[in-house]
Amino acid sequence: MNKPALVVIDLQEDFLPSDGSLAVAGGRSIVEGIIDLLDVQKFPWAAVIATQDWHPHDHISFASQHSVEPYSQLEFTHPLGEKDETGSVKTLTQTVWPDHCVQNTFGSSIDAAFLTQFNQVDGKVPKAIVQKGYLKDREYYSCFKDTWKLHKTEMEDTLRKLEVTDVIFVGLAYDFCVMNSAVDCSQSGFTTYVIKSLCKSVFPENISQTDDTYRNGGVKILESIDDYSF
């Protein structure tokens, strides 16, 4: 039998228009549809999980820490100094962002309307908030692990403990944290879906490339929850 979990990625004020420091265009418009998914009479979730980007104020992914413009590409070195076969320290080129989701600021808070409904979900349905991005020296897009795949969050253990088989992703942003989370989820052996209409992209102009990354990562793209059989 399917044991599906709903995972809501980073529905946080800094990712939401109009005031979020890293607002994703249209981000606010998906909140209501995501709240509707919390009706556990209608949708028999085995678990409901929300994620929260949760950075120290001096996080390495902030452009301000490198004195460059937000959205620049920078080369980062392996946080533990691991070397490749030629003996050079491994590097990754990644985007740097405006300061966002700093721990205990308004920008890091989860949308209030969503959180109210989340807290009211029937206590028989397991719920969790999984944080990521709290280690200062590395970027996290996936809610499972950092971009170097060194540190695991509580996500996989939480899903395994609850014997979840299927994971359905929604949230922000479709082309970063939702995508990397979903691909890691599929690679961890869960049957993985994303509901495209309940996500928004930072770079919507790259949508077909983003869709390909999902498909190549083993993630099924659904237009709506009606396309999923509970």
CA atoms within 13 A on the CB side of 108: 18
Tell the smallest beta-carbon distance from residue 49 to Zn ion (Å).
18
Instruction: Compute the least distance from the CB of residue 11 to Zn ion, in Å.
Output: 14
- Contact status: 13 vs Zn ion (CB under 5 A): no
Q: Which residue is nearest to Zn ion (CB)?
A: 53
Is residue 132 among the annotated active site residues? yes
Instruction: Tell the residue number behind the tokens 């320290």, with chain if given.
Output: 89
Q: Does position 14 bind Zn ion by CB under 5 A? A: no
Encoded amino acid at 189, one letter: G
∠ CA 174-187-88 to the nearest 5 degrees?
A: 90
- Residues 116-145 touching Zn ion, rule: CB under 5 A, are 133
> Looking at 47, 49, 51, 53, which residue binds Zn ion (CB under 5 A)?
53
Interaction with Zn ion in 173-212: which residues (CB under 5 A)?
A: none
Nearer to Zn ion, 130 or 222 (CB): 130
- For residue 195, give every residue at least 6 positions away whose Cβ sits within 8 Å of its Cβ, in sequence order, or none: 168, 169, 170, 222, 223, 224, 225
CB of 216 to Zn ion, least distance (A): 24
Q: How far is the CB of 47 from Zn ion (least distance, A)?
A: 24
Say whether 184 is catalytic: no
The 8-class DSSP code of residue 106 comes to G
Structure tokens at 159: 């899903």
73-77/91-95 β-pairing: antiparallel
The answer to whether 175 and 199 have CB atoms below 8 angstroms apart is no
Nearer to Zn ion, 117 or 210 (CB): 210
Closer to Zn ion at the Cβ: 107 or 133? Answer: 133
Rounded to whole angstroms, the Cα distance separating 187 from 230 reads 22
Of 143, 177, 185, 199, which is the active-site residue? 177
**The one catalytic residue among 132, 145, 196, 200:** 132
Q: Classify residue 47 by burial, with Cβ atoms within 10 Å: 0-12, 13-18, 19+.
A: buried
The beta strands (E) that lie in 106-201 are given as 127-132, 166-172, 191-200
The count of residues interacting with Zn ion (CB under 5 A) is 2
Residue 177 annotated to the active site: yes
Active site residues: 10, 132, 177
Rule CB under 5 A: which residues touch Zn ion?
53, 133
